[in-house]
Structure 1
């Protein structure tokens, strides 16, 4: 491990705080990731060496216990880590891939996996040699009909047979394991599985959105895939009460973390543009409306940070955050990301001084971010149901 890059030297745990984590990762990402972000985005290219360097720094195993090779950070520290990655890297696609691997697949395995499952998978996930993936369609916890079904293996066999398709699978082309939630025909309920890439009948094809171009995307097709009983994650038929609520909360909060960093980067750029860009011979910063816009950018960042950090911190408690808190934080952040991007674009004009086209990339990706996690059509009902005491 390269100790100058490692989180081991960041003074974490009892002696550290989230701002030191965010700043250390911001500097690391600024040096390692940012220089190639525009080119990788244009080419829709995944860089395995870049991910390896981030894994060596501890990002891949942030929430994995030290005894299994991880950094053993708290949820709040991990949120700060992802915020710093978003701000320094200025690469929402790569940040999403890291979050899917390090949080959305690793945490359910840590929470509901057996000791054997944790020992088998988590060390490789912690060092980045084995990547985890899942479909962002399966993080909404909305009761939608599953697109994958599970049926018991033939009487002379063991385990389950999975059939169906999943799209919008982040990290799919590079992944070694997949978290799959499947329904049961005729018996109700849903079960979560941790499925190996080498499983017979499993097919991965390249397919994904135009947004988040530096995240590898794919479609997962399961042609009667046999999986052993040891692939079950949690209780058979219990995913709706176990894995799915956890996935929804993790998605709503932790995939928002890099966007808080991106918003901070855009705000910082906007301040620089306002100071340097001239309008009718005077710096834009002398214009009162420009100053109001800068104030709005800063306010949106701080309001989002307050909501998100509060929700993230509650993952360290016994019950995790209330669905209302996680959903409200995501709802506000998605709206703020779009507003900050648009207002920063107005301040910067057609020729942004940074030259890395972050505004254009962020505008495209923020639209996608706003629709994932179920979008406002899922998030607002969650908040409203909690207020009304009916959910």
Structure 2
């Protein structure tokens, strides 16, 4: 695989968002991505290998697993803005690395027992409590209220039975956070009634008794494995229920998804930026008809449109991240930025493959990896069509089809 040097970075943070601390964090993440992440991505991704533990430990030392964990518990005590800013830099090198940090940030720590919660927060911040999120099922993806995996209370334990799909990092995780059904909704109640979130604590590299899994072979998004899991009487302490219950559990999930969608937008921007930067280099390197192909106006204009769309999406995700940090409701804005940024990333990485010509359709260049990973961003955390539904529902009366 050709290992072209990284192109010049984009301009520093603009005035409204600029602080010296953010600039330092961004510069550090950019160097980390270039020096430590990309060489591993170039070696591991073609063989669908899981990222090495040494890289995860290095990320822990940088504080990337605790960006949004308060300083009292060993985190950086920062917000969604910094979290997504770092995610863009990491995704520029390998989207999976930008994704693994989402499996900490205090995930799986909201237990009732205070000492236990503090311990888990500190472990999360250090990258020693990294999880997997189990929301989707074979028949419940976008429609999370249709979750059917059961968690039946038996004394002081939940007994979990059901099937979950699209669970990234499940075997390598320290825990799996599951959205389960503890009760059936009563007549007149919303379908989300009876839902709860339960933590299945486990050893890395293994599944507990009663849990089996098979890997899902993907065309991209390598670096960690994605699983289909079957729960057959898995027992966990009742104290492992986190957050609210019923419709409150569903709202907690939706709130988490608002942040996750902005995080996905930032990852999409990182991928698209990578495609632009590699294209800038390639257009100057490749010659045809006695000239660098960068001399041809059609290709110059194509590149100009690509970079304009990347910068537009970056400005949008930063705006929504700032809104989240201010505590403003922005479910619609999170859906919009996820829609805009991910569709942009598919287009821009596809255009980059076109600019690379036949070389773009080989594994000798990283641009095909950017496209494979970008294609997924329009699907997970809610498909583009689900984002359109959220946006439309915020503007129009509820559809009579629901």
TM-score by length of 2: 0.84
Q: Which residue of 2 aligns with 1:149?
A: 150
Q: Which residue of 2 aligns with 1:10?
A: none
Q: Which residue of 1 aligns with 2:292?
A: 283
Matched, 1:252 2:252: no
| CA offsets 1:282-333 (integer angstroms, 9 cap, x no match) | 12222111121111111111111122111112221234x4111000101111
Distance 1:207 1:239, change over 3 A: farther
Distance 1:228 1:14, change over 3 A: farther
Looking at structure 2, the residues matched to 136 and 287 of structure 1 have their Cα atoms a distance apart, in angstroms, of 48
Q: CA deviation at 1:23?
A: 2.6
Q: 3-state SS of the aligned residue for 1:213?
A: coil
Matched, 1:268 2:277: yes
Distance 1:338 1:14, change over 3 A: closer
Looking at structure 2, the residues matched to 264 and 122 of structure 1 have their Cα atoms a distance apart, in angstroms, of 33
1:49 is matched with which residue: 46, 54, 73? 54
Looking at structure 1, the residues matched to 368 and 142 of structure 2 have their Cα atoms a distance apart, in angstroms, of 31
Looking at structure 1, the residues matched to 239 and 130 of structure 2 have their Cα atoms a distance apart, in angstroms, of 19
Matched, 1:227 2:226: no
Matches for 1:352-363 after TM superposition, within 5 Å: 357-363=365-371
Q: 3-state SS of the aligned residue for 1:271?
A: helix
How many residues matched? Answer: 368
Distance 1:369 1:209, change over 3 A: same
| CA offsets 1:318-372 (integer angstroms, 9 cap, x no match) | 34x41110001011111111111111111122236x9863211122222222111
Looking at structure 2, the residues matched to 35 and 371 of structure 1 have their Cα atoms a distance apart, in angstroms, of 27
Distance 1:24 1:292, change over 3 A: same
Q: Which residue of 2 aligns with 1:118?
A: 117
Looking at structure 2, the residues matched to 389 and 27 of structure 1 have their Cα atoms a distance apart, in angstroms, of 48
Distance 1:31 1:113, change over 3 A: farther
Q: Which residue of 2 aligns with 1:214?
A: 223
Verify the 8 A CA contact 1:61 1:125 in the aligned structure 2.
Answer: yes
Q: Which residue of 2 aligns with 1:375?
A: 383
Uncovered stretches (5+) of structure 1, i.e. residues with no partner: 1-12
Looking at structure 2, the residues matched to 202 and 145 of structure 1 have their Cα atoms a distance apart, in angstroms, of 21
Q: 3-state SS of the aligned residue for 1:163?
A: strand
Q: Which residue of 2 aligns with 1:177?
A: 175
Q: CA deviation at 1:143?
A: 4.0
Matched, 1:96 2:99: yes
Q: Which residue of 2 aligns with 1:3?
A: none
Q: CA deviation at 1:205?
A: 3.9
1:364 is matched with which residue: 372, 376, 380? 372
Matched, 1:342 2:350: yes
Verify the 8 A CA contact 1:62 1:126 in the aligned structure 2.
Answer: yes
Q: Which residue of 2 aligns with 1:71?
A: 76
TM-score by length of 1: 0.86
Looking at structure 1, the residues matched to 300 and 84 of structure 2 have their Cα atoms a distance apart, in angstroms, of 30
Greater helix proportion: 1
| CA offsets 1:121-165 (integer angstroms, 9 cap, x no match) | 222222122321113638976444114112221xxx224222111
1:30 is matched with which residue: 31, 34, 37? 34
Looking at structure 1, the residues matched to 213 and 148 of structure 2 have their Cα atoms a distance apart, in angstroms, of 15
Please, what is the CA RMSD of the aligned residues?
Answer: 2.6
* Range that drifts further, 56-65 or 214-223: 214-223
Q: 3-state SS of the aligned residue for 1:70?
A: coil
Distance 1:123 1:373, change over 3 A: same
Looking at structure 2, the residues matched to 365 and 355 of structure 1 have their Cα atoms a distance apart, in angstroms, of 14
Matches for 1:300-311 after TM superposition, within 5 Å: 300-311=309-320
